[in-house]
Amino acid sequence: MLKYFFPFTFLLTFPLLAQESSDLESRAKSILAKQCITCHNGELKTADLVLDSREGALKGGKSGPALIPNQPEASLLVRKVFDGQMPPGNPLSKEDKEVLRAWVAAGAVWTGPLNATAATRPRATLDWWSLQPLGWGSRNHHLLQTCRLVGPGRLIALFSPS
């Protein structure tokens, strides 16, 4: 009777393992899309590393392969993240680091591309704040009224409006 019990148990737990692996993959890819792809995409290729696909991560960049499936200690991605070197100036939370480590340890399953919207840097359009013209209706209008030229080639002097 027991010899039939273990295969049956495996069949019942296999979908749960697959679901856990899929969840781990989606969480890891979400972290990559939010934290890594802005610099390591097909357009910028910072350090010649493109992380928008599994092939790009396996190929790696100037320092070698970013991913070595089933070997988180040897994977450059995991080492740089745990050392706090990546992403620069904005280290990942402990939980996100553990997700990436567990994902690589589980084989770094990667089906499909990363989210395309997260893979590109936002570009300034004509409504971007810094591209707006300075006009008389701007909030700096009072500064324009309080400045006047002292003379040709001389500094601008501030005076109080009368």
Residue given tokens 């003379």 in the structure block:
151
Per-residue model confidence (pLDDT) at position 132:
74
Range among 7-11, 14-18, 141-145 rated most confident: 141-145
- Give the residue from 62, 67, 52 showing the smallest Cα distance to 121: 52
Break the chain into its structural domains and give their ranges. 13-120
Q: Average pLDDT, stretch 100-121?
A: 76
Per-residue model confidence (pLDDT) at position 20:
63
Taking the model in full, what pTM does it have?
0.60
- Give the residue from 86, 94, 83, 101 showing the smallest Cα distance to 39: 86
The values of phi and psi at residue 116, to 5°, are -65, -30
β-bridge mates for residue 156, sequence order: 149
Q: Give percent of the chain with pLDDT exceeding 70.
A: 62
Q: Is the pLDDT of residue 94 over 90?
A: yes
